[in-house]
Amino acid sequence: MNSHLLTLQPACFWKHFAKLLEIPHETGHEQALAEYVIQVAKQNSLSAIKDELHNVIVYKPGNPNRSTVILQSHLDMVCEKTPNSQHDFQADPIATQINGDWLETNGTTLGADNGFGVALMLALLEEQNQNWGSLELLFTTQEETTMAGAKAVDPTWLSGNYLINLDGARLNRITIGSAGAQDVDLLLPIQRTQPPQQAWQLEIKGLQGGHSGVDIHRPRANAIKLITEILLPVCEKINLVDLAGGNAHNAIPNQATAIFGWVEANSANQAKLQSLIDQTLKTWQKREPNLVIELNQTSDARPALSIESQNNLLSLLSELPHGVLTQHPKLPKTVMTSNNLA
């Protein structure tokens, strides 16, 4: 399926990356990939250990007069796909094609984060003509969610003087230092009344989205914010049934859907909503050229939220901050604090 990768150089790297694409490795399901790492280590007569969380360490002895270096990458990947993709991240290999200088997938994430780091370390593990110091090759798990893998690594596994993490986002740059992150889960109790006579679906899609740790400063729209801005001004004219958006805590939401009914389905109310949709499209058309907002009748028998619950929800989503909160006082164009509403 990905045999075109085997023609690329350096071959010692691409053969492992091609193999990675065949082994599903969503966060929390890293066992199979961890076993592949162990297998490669064994084939090269290197000692390796795997723990309960499927973290793996491989020891590659080197020149004793040089420093021991720890290399780290993470085995798990973010699994995202386009809404019409049939891909099963638990079972299917990720199909790719080469387009110019780019390696592309068919509507799924590629897993270059951090498959490139993993494949690079496997290539180094097999390197024969080295005069480096010893390498301690550390592969951790659940990086994309809780860092549970890295947190549980047995410190006695490591003796190296230096650690280089291969999970960077930019070519030809070394990052010194790191940022912290915190998840806040909000739970808003709601009450429901009765189903609307006719349900409508408002859908926002086609936004660029992106990684909240990398793209938060870019002029991109958050689908949850957009749908809230459209609905809030007509809050008293609708009965909201459902509001959903986003896929992951670290992905900027690129789609959102609201189900609602009209309190009074008159043309004035509908025109007001349409003007809010048109205004949003106009505001974002340059920065989000693929933005689509669709309004269609739908069948949904669920009861609507009470007026109070609906007001609470839309007000909360409107008030919650999204995007850059503060810039670094000294370093230009450097984000200090940001929030991803997702």
The answer to whether the peptide bond before residue 321 is cis (omega within 30 degrees of 0) is no
**Which residues in the 105-134 window bind Zn ion by CB under 5 A?**
113-114
Judged on CB neighbours under 10 Å (0-12, 13-18, 19+), 232 is middle
Residue type for position 227: I
Q: Which is nearer to Zn ion, 68 or 114 (CB)?
A: 114
Active-site residue, from 30, 76, 136, 288 = 76
Q: How much is the CA Rg of the chain, to the nearest whole Å?
A: 24
Q: How far is the CB of 271 from Zn ion (least distance, A)?
A: 47
Q: How far is the CB of 122 from Zn ion (least distance, A)?
A: 16
Helix (H, G, I), strand (E, B) or coil at 235: helix
Helix (H, G, I), strand (E, B) or coil at 319: helix
Residue type for position 170: R
Q: How far is the CB of 285 from Zn ion (least distance, A)?
A: 32
Distance CA 152, CA 55 (A): 8
76 makes contact with Zn ion (CB under 5 A): no
Q: Which of 325, 285, 288, 328 is nearest to 207 (CA)?
A: 288
Q: Which is nearer to Zn ion, 121 or 313 (CB)?
A: 121
Q: How far is the CB of 77 from Zn ion (least distance, A)?
A: 8
**Catalytic-residue membership of 88:** no
**Catalytic-residue membership of 76:** yes
Residues 57, 61, 64, 69: is their CA dihedral positive or negative?
Answer: negative
Q: Which is nearer to Zn ion, 73 or 280 (CB)?
A: 73
Which pair of structure tokens corresponds to residue 2? Answer: 């990905």
- Angstrom CA distances, 144 to 78, 114, 253, 286, 311, stand at 7, 10, 16, 31, 33
Q: Which is nearer to Zn ion, 150 or 158 (CB)?
A: 150
Size of the site for Zn ion (CB under 5 A): 3
Q: Which is nearer to Zn ion, 72 or 228 (CB)?
A: 72
Helices vs strands, H then E, count in the chain: 7, 13
Q: How far is the CB of 127 from Zn ion (least distance, A)?
A: 23
Q: How far is the CB of 80 from Zn ion (least distance, A)?
A: 14
Residues 152-181 vs Zn ion: string with x where CB under 5 A?
---------------x--------------
Q: Which is nearer to Zn ion, 30 or 113 (CB)?
A: 113
Is 311:318 a contact under the CB 8 Å cutoff? no
80 makes contact with Zn ion (CB under 5 A): no
Active-site residue, from 30, 113, 136, 143 = 143
Question: Which parts of this chain interact with Zn ion (CB under 5 A)?
Answer: 113-114, 167
Residues annotated as catalytic (active site), given as ranges = 76, 143
